């Protein structure tokens, strides 16, 4: 008798979940149809008031393209030369590794040589010595220096732990003590594929892969990874030709819109920013994979699948999050001092980006949102739903909390 009752309850719950899933799918379809339709109308009606629009190449006649974001515009403009340079560099590196059976020491010398050539052009060194002060190069060195600082800290920590024979991080590949050489250190700091934007990789992992190239990705998987990146680039081109989200944000034209339209623009800007960094970081990671160095994935999760601050920050610039966990969070005490650690960590993140009051205020405001979320999470982890109704209410409350989080992010 009890078995039949439990079976009937299980079937009822499965049916309820299917109905709920169907309703959610219909809601999502309706939501995105409305957002896309409204975004097309907003872009068409207000394009004359927006700054940063340029003549595009899609459709006939060509639509305007949203090139208002400086980072994306610079990356998109320099994409052909970057692809050519990294293609040549990785080809040379792989040929030399195969021909001369190079290991860590030889590869560090080779990549140091190639990376210094790359940096000399990138930052404008050796361009007519008499005009050196006036030559600005193609990219400001201090923009990349923030990432170089993280690599310096990584080398220092890993070198210190190597002498202490620390094994607190079992997932991190260990480098041999002989790999902590000045040449390998310099090669790590200026490794060309990861120099501009990362992803960030620890010294231990980098040195071990100089010795033995990564084998986690096969050649077919690396090719498929590159094709997926091309599909993402096509999506970005389509998005910037149809929707001018970032141009609305930079032109301050959104102030004249209705609250619903402001919500749609804000939601569009978040998705544009995610796709922009997704493409930039994956391009450099793809080049690094071809060179035999596997760096962490920076965008492992779509921004629309992050329903709380913790998962958002773990999935946004994930390699930086791993760096923080390894070199700050764990040494500061880990989860035992979580509520205190977030203040130190986010203050460091703000100062690392730039020493500005607006960044510090952003960091501390984020911490203020983080504290109640962590407290609520610790309370809900102890909660056990006693019935189907309790489970349903609990799930809906979590969904409402996720909605508030996404709204605050926008």
Model confidence at 311, pLDDT cuts 50, 70, 90, reads confident
Model confidence at 338, pLDDT cuts 50, 70, 90, reads confident
The helix (H) or strand (E) run that includes residue 98 is helix 70-100
Structure-block tokens of residue 150: 């993280």
286-301 confidence digits (pLDDT tens): 999 999 999 999 999 8
Count of CB atoms situated within 10 Å of the CB of 117: 13
163-212 confidence digits (pLDDT tens): 886 655 544 556 677 789 999 999 999 999 999 998 999 999 999 998 88
Report whether pLDDT(405) > 90: no
- The residue ranking higher by pLDDT, 380 or 367, is 367
- Give me the mean pLDDT over the 131-135 stretch: 56
pLDDT of residue 386: 66
- Give me the mean pLDDT over the 312-316 stretch: 86
Q: If DSSP codes are grouped into helix, strand and coil, which group holds residue 330? A: coil
343 Cβ contact partners less than 8 Å away, ≥ 6 residues apart: 364, 367
Q: What is the DSSP letter of 152?
A: H
pLDDT of residue 11: 73
pLDDT of residue 170: 46
Catalytic site includes residue 353: yes
Listed by start position, the domains of the chain span 104-211, 306-410
273-289 confidence digits (pLDDT tens): 999 999 999 999 999 99
Taking the CA of residue 327 as centre, how many other CA atoms within 13 Å lie in the half-sphere pointing to its CB?
A: 25
Q: If DSSP codes are grouped into helix, strand and coil, which group holds residue 65? A: strand
The dihedral through the CA atoms of 92, 96, 102, 105 has a sign that is negative
- Give me the mean pLDDT over the 148-157 stretch: 94
77-86, 130-139, 191-200, 359-368: the lowest-pLDDT one: 130-139
Count of CB atoms situated within 10 Å of the CB of 23: 10
Q: Answer whether 278's CB lies under 8 Å from 229's CB.
A: no
Quote the percentage of the chain above a pLDDT of 90.
49
56-60, 69-73, 171-175, 178-182: the lowest-pLDDT one: 171-175
Report whether pLDDT(347) > 50: yes
Which of 274, 263, 275 is CA-nearest to residue 237? 275
- The residue ranking higher by pLDDT, 226 or 119, is 226
89-112 confidence digits (pLDDT tens): 999 999 999 998 888 889 999 999
- The residue ranking higher by pLDDT, 149 or 138, is 149
Residue written as tokens 């070198």?
Answer: 159
Model confidence at 148, pLDDT cuts 50, 70, 90, reads very high
Give the mean pLDDT of the chain: 86
Report whether pLDDT(122) > 60: yes
Q: If DSSP codes are grouped into helix, strand and coil, which group holds residue 217? A: coil
User: Strand pairing of 64-66 and 53-55?
Assistant: antiparallel
318-328 confidence digits (pLDDT tens): 999 999 999 99
């Amino acid at each position: 008798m009890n078995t039949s009752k439990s079976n009937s309850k299980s079937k009822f719950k499965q049916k309820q979940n299917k109905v709920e899933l169907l309703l959610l799918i219909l809601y999502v379809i309706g939501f995105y149809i409305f957002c896309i339709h409204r975004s097309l109308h907003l872009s068409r009606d207000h394009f004359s008031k927006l700054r940063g629009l340029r003549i595009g190449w899609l459709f006939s006649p060509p639509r305007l393209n949203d090139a208002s974001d400086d980072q994306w515009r610079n990356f998109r403009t320099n994409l052909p030369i970057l692809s050519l340079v990294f293609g040549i560099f990785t080809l040379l590196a792989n040929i030399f590794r195969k021909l001369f059976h190079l290991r860590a020491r030889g590869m560090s010398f080779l990549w140091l040589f190639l990376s210094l050539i790359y940096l000399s052009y990138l930052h404008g060194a050796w361009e007519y010595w008499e005009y050196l002060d006036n030559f600005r190069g193609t990219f400001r060195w201090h923009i990349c220096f923030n990432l170089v600082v993280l690599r310096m800290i990584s080398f220092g920590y890993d070198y210190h732990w190597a002498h202490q024979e620390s094994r607190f991080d079992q997932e991190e590949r260990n480098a041999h003590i002989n790999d902590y050489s000045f040449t390998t250190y310099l090669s790590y700091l200026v490794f060309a594929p990861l120099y501009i934007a990362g992803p960030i990789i620890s010294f231990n992992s980098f040195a071990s892969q100089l010795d033995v190239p990564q084998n986690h990705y096969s050649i077919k998987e690396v090719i498929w990874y590159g094709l997926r990146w091309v599909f993402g680039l096509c999506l970005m081109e389509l998005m910037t030709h149809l929707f001018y989200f970032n141009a609305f944000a930079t032109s301050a034209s959104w102030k004249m819109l209705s609250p619903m339209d402001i919500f749609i623009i804000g939601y569009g800007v978040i998705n544009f920013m995610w796709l922009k960094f997704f493409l930039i970081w994956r391009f450099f990671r793809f080049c690094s994979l071809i060179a035999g160095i596997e760096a962490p994935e920076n965008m492992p999760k779509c921004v629309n699948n992050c329903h709380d601050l913790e998962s958002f920050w773990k999935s946004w610039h994930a390699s930086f999050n791993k760096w923080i966990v390894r070199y700050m969070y764990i040494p500061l005490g880990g989860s035992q001092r979580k509520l205190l650690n977030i203040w130190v960590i986010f203050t460091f993140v703000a100062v690392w980006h730039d020493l500005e009051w607006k960044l510090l205020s952003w960091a501390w405001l984020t911490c203020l949102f983080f504290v109640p979320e962590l407290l609520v999470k610790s309370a809900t982890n102890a909660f056990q739903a006693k019935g189907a109704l309790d489970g349903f209410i609990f799930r809906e409350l979590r969904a409402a909390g996720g909605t508030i989080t996404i709204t605050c992010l926008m």
